[in-house]
Amino acid sequence: EIFHAESEPVKPVDTTGAGDAFFGTFVGLIDQCGIDNADVEKLRLIALQANKAGAQATLHKGAVTL
């Protein structure tokens, strides 16, 4: 199934690492809930959180401090 997850609008400064932030957040949250327990709504919420992490990573130049 294909679905779209919103992302927060940002004015990016540096997009380096945005994909890493997205993917790391996505995989981490999938790992927490368990892939077998991830229904479409849960996946949408996880994708939304991952999009936010990727967006936040673009707001500053250089590495993100977690």
Q: Would you say the C-alpha torsion 45, 51, 52, 57 has a positive or negative sign?
A: positive
Q: Which of 28, 5, 17, 24 is nearest to 59 (CA)?
A: 17
pTM confidence score: 0.83
Q: Would you say the C-alpha torsion 59, 18, 55, 37 has a positive or negative sign?
A: negative
pLDDT, tens only, 7-61: 889 999 999 999 999 999 999 999 998 888 788 889 889 999 999 999 999 998 8
pLDDT at 31: 93
Residue 25 neighbours by CB distance under 10 Å: 20
The answer to whether 24 and 57 are in contact (CB under 8 A) is no
Residue 4 has pLDDT above 90, yes or no: no
Q: Which amino acid is at 56?
A: Q
